[in-house]
Chain A
């Protein structure tokens, strides 16, 4: 394989990772506020269908993405209302929504099955596109892919470097402590749940209008992506940078599966298609090894200088869920 083809393939990885980045970052924001939106899988499929439909009807990519975001925000609003206001189980509500939305998408999407729709092509950035390697990799992508890349840093910056972001961390960690510091916990939780949902809703049309163009009902091939995005959020330790790393890793493994399919014909193609899922989990588990007790014990045997450095590294990799994740806040 020549270098150019590999480069093209890797650029494709960034493009096909973009919707997963959007969904996982959206979920990260939601979960950082202490709410679990488990409806991702259904939301992505429903918004993929709705976004495609609107884009076809109005022949407008912009309206298509808008429709997707709206669907995501609406589903998230249901999660928010039932969990924050009605204090119902977030897991149960999310679970039911994920199934409902998926089946609703397949049912309502029948009329537009196989229709030709607009496709979002790449918009190379002048000058930057000519930088060797980096240019073709990052600067010859579609607008939404650029947005997904910017979003990673925006989300990271917001959570860890801004005042409202610090409060966001607090709300997910110990809402009572955020409350005594003047936060309106319920309103903030609504805001981040709906914002996160809207980002998840952008992932759907990004598939049907760009990465995997068109709506083909049950064989559109989006079922399962939402679950992976959820897993990436968790293993990425609710940190946008690490979450993005996970999303690209998954896209890369999928691409690798496709490439190897043609050269390694002795392996059944199904194995290569499914392999990214367990491989993903394995990798993420390795990253999180520092959370284990036996690791602590192993480290205790190292000389002091080394141990402290390794400890610091592990501490920086260590992920702990927002302590109040999934629990409603009551003032007493």
Chain B
């Protein structure tokens, strides 16, 4: 199906999210929509999928102007969308998720549907268990489920909004293979992303949005520098980084043993030096998050010791870790990191150490937050509630809330969902702190990020923790093998072998 956007406009308050966008997408191709966070990509796609209505403009399908009022209308026209946060029902079983919204008899009959489901998924080499509960699946598997569901409903156009965020490399490869199969079946794929490398390997053609405007359209093969310039309006150069690690040890783990069903992590011995950056690599659920949480007092180790600046803090709670200069930025910003419903100014009011009197000095904190907004380039105002900030801005806000003098910052996926510019900015800020002697301990699913920013790397594989690797001597391929459980024996001279002992 050929899709046309004709002078689409959409405002959210004062923000012009889509400005006069006119764009054509030919059928049977993988079409990329590229832009930084907040460029208006999701808005445009939500308009196409009927989730929101444009202020003006029209959608043209195969030459006919249509009105798409709801997602149900969109699916009638054969347009289905995978939202950035999968719109599925976590407590339900896979097969029930597949069925909800399908037409059919009053009483459910699972047998035939399961058969059809299995046939459909075999086309794409997916292996979802129809009886599994969705909350036990990974984000990648939930995407697979949504793809199958939309195809089953007759989607001929599939929109994917940032599908490569939060999924493993293997799942990404599977996803890309499936999308190529679909394009081969003359289906139209619209792939929305801020990740250049994904768009470059996958898309036949790409449109670039910036601040609500369509900047241009480019055919494959691409010139990366050109794409970057179109996305950001300027060239972005990666600076050379140097280690600023000092000799002083600020943090130690001794014989740590942690249990968090189904993982048991044994014998973690490790010391972190002032100003050092340590990356924790591994597939999601391999134990990185467990160790990180044990380092902050959020999870109590069964045995072993956690020593911060020479003080044994084993078994203490997060508050005491904080008082000893440890800070934690969790991956789920809105659930654990920030307080939804509170404004930026209110966040500074509750976290800042000065002016902690009974009555709030509104003027002071307003001024303080304006200063931080300026310093950390947060797009928002002191009275903006944090949940209405975009992901990148939420992350910057979380960073700006950290105290000045910290000895260790622990981060979970610090740049997940952020575009290159925000990522670079985030790390600039973190590195500034490293120069002042703050150490960083971070988890990332992005191996490039781990290699680029870490001084040393710990690899995790189903509860096993590697000895620290020097990031200067390890290659991307090696790291990729290790997180998949391969090459451990060779690398560490370990007697046990881990070859394919679990399914990624």
Residues from 74 to 91 in A contacting B, C-beta threshold 8 Å: none
Q: Do B100 and A181 have beta carbons less than 8 Å apart?
A: yes
Find chain A residues with CB under 8 A from B52 CB. Answer: 331-332
Residues from 301 to 315 in B contacting A, C-beta threshold 8 Å: none
Q: Report how far A274 CA is from B89 CA in the complex, Å.
A: 40
Determine if A103 is an interface residue (Cβ-Cβ < 8 Å): no
Determine if B106 is an interface residue (Cβ-Cβ < 8 Å): yes
Q: Interface readout for B79-122 with A: 1 if CB under 8 Å, 0 if not?
A: 00101000111111000100111101111100000000000000
Q: Report how far A167 CA is from B105 CA in the complex, Å.
A: 13
Determine if B492 is an interface residue (Cβ-Cβ < 8 Å): no
Given A166-B96, A169-B89, A180 and B108 touching (CB < 8 A)? no
Determine if B268 is an interface residue (Cβ-Cβ < 8 Å): no
Find chain A residues with CB under 8 A from B100 CB. Answer: 166-167, 170, 178, 181
Q: Which of A162, A173, A181, A297 is within 8 Å of B101, CB to CB?
A: A181
| Chain A minimum-CB-distance residue to B46 | A332
Q: Do B91 and A173 have beta carbons less than 8 Å apart?
A: yes
Q: Do B89 and A170 have beta carbons less than 8 Å apart?
A: yes
Given A164-B106, A177-B89, A182-B101, A299 and B72 touching (CB < 8 A)? no
Q: Do A177 and B261 have beta carbons less than 8 Å apart?
A: no
Q: Which of B87, B102, B261 is within 8 Å of A176, CB to CB?
A: B87
Find chain A residues with CB under 8 A from B51 CB. Answer: 180, 331-332
Find chain A residues with CB under 8 A from B261 CB. Answer: 296-297, 299-300
Determine if A129 is an interface residue (Cβ-Cβ < 8 Å): no
Q: Which of A163, A177, A297, A320 is within 8 Å of B105, CB to CB?
A: A163
Determine if B480 is an interface residue (Cβ-Cβ < 8 Å): no
Q: Report how far A163 CA is from B108 CA in the complex, Å.
A: 6
Determine if A161 is an interface residue (Cβ-Cβ < 8 Å): yes
Residues from 261 to 310 in A contacting B, C-beta threshold 8 Å: 296-297, 299-300
Q: Do B91 and A320 have beta carbons less than 8 Å apart?
A: yes
Q: Which of A162, A177, A297, A320 is within 8 Å of B259, CB to CB?
A: A297
CB distance from A318 to the nearest CB of B (A): 9
| Chain A minimum-CB-distance residue to B135 | A320
Find chain B residues with CB under 8 A from A173 CB. Answer: 89-92
Find chain A residues with CB under 8 A from B72 CB. Answer: 180-182
Determine if A183 is an interface residue (Cβ-Cβ < 8 Å): yes
CB distance from B340 to the nearest CB of A (A): 12
Q: Do A166 and B108 have beta carbons less than 8 Å apart?
A: yes
Determine if A174 is an interface residue (Cβ-Cβ < 8 Å): yes
CB distance from B40 to the nearest CB of A (A): 14
Given A297-B259, A332-B52, A174 and B89 touching (CB < 8 A)? yes
Q: Do B259 and A180 have beta carbons less than 8 Å apart?
A: no
Determine if A156 is an interface residue (Cβ-Cβ < 8 Å): no
| Chain A minimum-CB-distance residue to B302 | A297
Determine if A146 is an interface residue (Cβ-Cβ < 8 Å): no
Determine if A191 is an interface residue (Cβ-Cβ < 8 Å): no
| Chain A minimum-CB-distance residue to B72 | A182
| Chain B minimum-CB-distance residue to A175 | B87
Determine if B420 is an interface residue (Cβ-Cβ < 8 Å): no
Q: Which of A163, A176, A323, A331 is within 8 Å of B99, CB to CB?
A: A163
Q: Report how far A296 CA is from B263 CA in the complex, Å.
A: 12
Q: Interface readout for A125-165 with B: 1 if CB under 8 Å, 0 if not?
A: 00000000000000000000000000000000000011110
Find chain B residues with CB under 8 A from A182 CB. Answer: 70-72, 75, 101
Q: Report how far A178 CA is from B101 CA in the complex, Å.
A: 8
Q: Looking at A167, A182, A299, A332, which has the most chain B CB atoms within 10 Å of its CB?
A: A182
Q: Do A166 and B75 have beta carbons less than 8 Å apart?
A: no
B interface secondary structure, majority: loop
Q: Report how far A299 CA is from B260 CA in the complex, Å.
A: 11
Q: Do B96 and A163 have beta carbons less than 8 Å apart?
A: no
Q: Interface readout for A167-203 with B: 1 if CB under 8 Å, 0 if not?
A: 1011001101111111100000000000000000000
Q: Report how far A174 CA is from B97 CA in the complex, Å.
A: 12
- Count the A residues whose beta carbon is within 8 Å of the partner chain — how many? 26
Find chain A residues with CB under 8 A from B90 CB. Answer: 173-174, 323
CB distance from A58 to the nearest CB of B (A): 36
CB distance from B317 to the nearest CB of A (A): 15
Q: Report how far A323 CA is from B91 CA in the complex, Å.
A: 9
Q: Report how far A323 CA is from B51 CA in the complex, Å.
A: 21
Q: Report how far A320 CA is from B135 CA in the complex, Å.
A: 12
Find chain B residues with CB under 8 A from A179 CB. Answer: 70-71
Given A169-B92, A179-B71, A300-B261, A162 and B106 touching (CB < 8 A)? yes
Find chain B residues with CB under 8 A from A323 CB. Answer: 90-91
Q: Interface readout for A303-332 with B: 1 if CB under 8 Å, 0 if not?
A: 000000000000000001001000000011
Q: Report how far A167 CA is from B89 CA in the complex, Å.
A: 10
Q: Which of A162, A167, A177, A320 is within 8 Å of B88, CB to CB?
A: A177
Q: Report how far A182 CA is from B88 CA in the complex, Å.
A: 13
Q: Report how far A323 CA is from B262 CA in the complex, Å.
A: 25
| Chain A minimum-CB-distance residue to B43 | A332
Q: Do B87 and A166 have beta carbons less than 8 Å apart?
A: no
Find chain B residues with CB under 8 A from A166 CB. Answer: 92, 96, 99-100, 108
Find chain B residues with CB under 8 A from A299 CB. Answer: 261
Find chain A residues with CB under 8 A from B99 CB. Answer: 163, 166
Q: Report how far A325 CA is from B104 CA in the complex, Å.
A: 28
Q: Report how far A181 CA is from B152 CA in the complex, Å.
A: 12
Given A166-B96, A300-B259, A180 and B81 touching (CB < 8 A)? yes
Q: Report how far A178 CA is from B96 CA in the complex, Å.
A: 12
Q: Report how far A250 CA is from B46 CA in the complex, Å.
A: 49
Residues from 223 to 264 in A contacting B, C-beta threshold 8 Å: none
Q: Looking at B46, B70, B89, which has the most chain A CB atoms within 10 Å of its CB?
A: B89
Find chain B residues with CB under 8 A from A162 CB. Answer: 106-108
| Chain A minimum-CB-distance residue to B96 | A166
Q: Do A180 and B105 have beta carbons less than 8 Å apart?
A: no
CB distance from A31 to the nearest CB of B (A): 14
| Chain B minimum-CB-distance residue to A299 | B261
Find chain A residues with CB under 8 A from B81 CB. Answer: 180
Q: Report how far A320 CA is from B92 CA in the complex, Å.
A: 11
Q: Report how far A300 CA is from B260 CA in the complex, Å.
A: 9
Find chain A residues with CB under 8 A from B105 CB. Answer: 163
CB distance from A183 to the nearest CB of B (A): 7
Q: Looking at B83, B87, B105, B108, which has the most chain A CB atoms within 10 Å of its CB?
A: B87
Find chain B residues with CB under 8 A from A169 CB. Answer: 89, 92
CB distance from B77 to the nearest CB of A (A): 13
CB distance from B471 to the nearest CB of A (A): 34
Find chain A residues with CB under 8 A from B262 CB. Answer: 300
Q: Report how far A170 CA is from B101 CA in the complex, Å.
A: 10
Q: List 25 A-B contacts (CB under 8 A).
A: A162-B106, A163-B102, A163-B107, A164-B106, A166-B96, A166-B99, A167-B100, A167-B101, A169-B92, A170-B92, A173-B89, A178-B100, A179-B71, A180-B51, A180-B72, A180-B81, A181-B72, A182-B71, A182-B72, A182-B75, A300-B259, A300-B262, A320-B91, A323-B91, A332-B46
Residues of B within 8 A of A (CB): 46, 49, 51-52, 70-72, 75, 81, 83, 87-92, 96, 99-102, 104-108, 259, 261-262
Q: Apart from A162-B106, A162-B108, A169-B92, what are 5 other A-B pairs with CB-CB below 8 Å?
A: A161-B107, A180-B49, A180-B81, A182-B75, A323-B90
